[in-house]
């Protein structure tokens, strides 16, 4: 990190926050320094994609809570259009993408990809255009919401651009299909660097690389090689390699064994959903996508739930916690902590809970309860 950024961090106070750290590139660091020094009179611009289905309701929730907590963010809202934009070949307009590239932070609600051919899926568009290479998902047991697992506290970091999801498939002859999995040194190094940097900045003690290199020797072997190289630069962090089937088994038996997990695309998809299941499901899980040049797009990973859309029944927790991740990325740690505690306390209290958590409150009641707890 550059000297200026280092000094700036010392000045701001390097409170070991739970969720996000800075990116590696120096331009990113400078931008976060600039932001940190912005006073409440110059709000930070952040892009907001409310999304479909329950998206607009929970986005409204987030806006209310952030206003109640005096967070100086100016939302730049963008919606998915109803026509394919030829410049992006998807339903996301060029302006939306530019907005995220300019603001460098964003919050995204659930988006339902319309079925059809000839255009890219929305998530794929965002990922490719913004070069979002790492998906960070912290999974921790929410005190007060009891699941079968009480001591979960781990972060899954998943490579987001290549691997099995390259989309390169073809039919060789009738009845025989090939799908190509690609692993490159560049992408693996990038995500490994981010994982170790994240572990260091958040005071995490262990990084586990998940792989199946006993079978896929060259591909996962290359991924492991990259992780090995990066691990050497961080001798104070304990590094281990775990085969994925063993990892699945250990996760369901004793999730406390893991701390930070870094893995290629497919395994990351499965493991991060498994971990979300351990703590209560996708309705409570925040996540954040990291891109080059310090871009961070926090998103709620659950679906758009069209069946409860507009009925004021949706649970805004996932989007709120993702918003908290976004605040920590912007170094607004005090307010992030405030909102985080408010959410945890509201859920722990148990008086206001939405239907998916077993309660009867509406979205607006839940939001109001959180605002009261601030």
**Could you list the residues that contact another protein (CB under 8 A)?**
148-149, 164-165, 167, 169-171, 174-186, 212-222, 224, 241-246, 248-253, 266, 269-274, 276-278, 281-282
**C-alpha span between 173 and 304 (Å, rounded):** 38
> CA 189 → CA 8, 215, 262, distances in Å?
27, 21, 11
- Please, which residue, 166 or 345, has the CB nearer to another protein? 166
Cβ neighbours, 10 Å, residue 318: 24
Decide if 278 contacts 147 (C-beta within 8 A).
Answer: yes
**C-alpha span between 200 and 210 (Å, rounded):** 19
Please, what is the minimum distance in Å from the beta carbon of residue 123 to another protein? Answer: 10
**C-alpha span between 8 and 103 (Å, rounded):** 21
- Please, which residue, 71 or 126, has the CB nearer to another protein? 126
- Please, which residue, 10 or 148, has the CB nearer to another protein? 148
Question: 315: closest CA among 328, 305, 327, 325?
Answer: 305
Cβ neighbours, 10 Å, residue 14: 12
Q: Is 187 helix (H, G, I), strand (E, B) or coil?
A: helix
- Please, which residue, 32 or 135, has the CB nearer to another protein? 135
**C-alpha span between 342 and 116 (Å, rounded):** 42
Please, what is the minimum distance in Å from the beta carbon of residue 184 to another protein? Answer: 5
Contacts 24+ apart (CB under 8 A), 161-167: 161/127, 161/128, 161/131, 161/132, 161/133, 161/187, 161/265, 162/187, 162/264, 162/265, 163/264, 163/265, 163/266, 164/264, 164/265, 164/266, 165/265, 165/266, 165/269, 167/124
Two tokens, residue 204: 């995490």
- Please, which residue, 248 or 309, has the CB nearer to another protein? 248
Decide if 288 contacts 298 (C-beta within 8 A).
Answer: yes
- Please, which residue, 42 or 214, has the CB nearer to another protein? 214
- Please, which residue, 3 or 172, has the CB nearer to another protein? 172
Please, what is the minimum distance in Å from the beta carbon of residue 115 to another protein? Answer: 11
- Please, which residue, 213 or 288, has the CB nearer to another protein? 213
Please, what is the minimum distance in Å from the beta carbon of residue 249 to another protein? Answer: 4
The residues assigned a catalytic role are: 165, 212, 245, 269, 273
Please, what is the minimum distance in Å from the beta carbon of residue 306 to another protein? Answer: 17
Question: 22: closest CA among 288, 366, 348?
Answer: 288
Please, what is the minimum distance in Å from the beta carbon of residue 221 to another protein? Answer: 4
**C-alpha span between 338 and 371 (Å, rounded):** 10
Please, what is the minimum distance in Å from the beta carbon of residue 172 to another protein? Answer: 8
Two tokens, residue 15: 């409170």
The DSSP secondary-structure symbol of 126 reads: H
- Write the CB contacts of 10 (distance below 8 Å, at least 6 apart in sequence): none
Please, what is the minimum distance in Å from the beta carbon of residue 311 to another protein? Answer: 23
């Amino acid at each position: 990190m550059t000297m200026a950024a280092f000094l700036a961090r010392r000045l701001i106070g390097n409170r070991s926050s739970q969720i996000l750290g800075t990116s590696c590139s120096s331009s990113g660091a400078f931008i976060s320094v600039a932001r940190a020094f912005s006073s409440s009179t110059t709000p930070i611009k952040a892009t907001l994609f409310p999304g479909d289905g329950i998206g607009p309701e929970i986005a409204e929730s987030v806006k209310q809570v952030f206003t109640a907590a005096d967070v100086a963010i100016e939302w730049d809202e963008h919606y998915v259009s109803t026509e394919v934009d030829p410049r992006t070949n998807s339903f996301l307009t060029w302006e939306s993408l530019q907005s995220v590239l300019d603001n460098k932070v964003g919050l995204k609600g659930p988006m339902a990809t319309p079925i059809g051919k000839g255009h890219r899926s929305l998530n794929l568009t965002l990922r490719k255009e913004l070069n979002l290479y790492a998906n960070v998902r912290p999974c921790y047991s929410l005190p007060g919401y009891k699941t079968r697992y009480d001591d979960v506290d781990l972060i899954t970091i998943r490579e987001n651009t290549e691997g099995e999801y390259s989309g390169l498939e073809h039919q060789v002859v009738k009845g025989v299909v090939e799908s190509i999995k690609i692993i490159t040194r560049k992408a693996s190094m990038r995500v490994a660097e981010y994982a170790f940097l994240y572990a260091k900045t958040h005071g995490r003690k262990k990084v586990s690389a998940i792989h199946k290199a006993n079978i896929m020797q060259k591909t996962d072997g290359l991924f492991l090689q990259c992780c090995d190289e990066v691990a050497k630069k961080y001798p104070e962090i304990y590094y281990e390699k775990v085969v994925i089937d063993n990892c699945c088994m250990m996760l369901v038996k004793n999730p406390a064994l893991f701390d930070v997990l870094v893995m290629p695309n497919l395994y990351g998809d499965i493991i991060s959903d498994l971990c979300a299941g351990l703590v209560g499901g996708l309705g409570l899980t925040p996540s954040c996508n990291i891109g080059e040049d310090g871009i961070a797009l926090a998103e709620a990973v659950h679906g758009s739930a069209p069946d409860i859309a507009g009925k004021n029944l949706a649970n805004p927790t996932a989007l709120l916690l993702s918003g908290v991740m976004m605040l920590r990325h912007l170094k607004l740690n005090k307010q992030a902590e405030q909102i985080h505690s408010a959410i945890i306390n509201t859920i722990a209290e148990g008086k206001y809970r939405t239907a998916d958590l077993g309660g009867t409150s509406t979205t607006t009641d839940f939001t109001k309860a959180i605002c009261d707890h601030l």
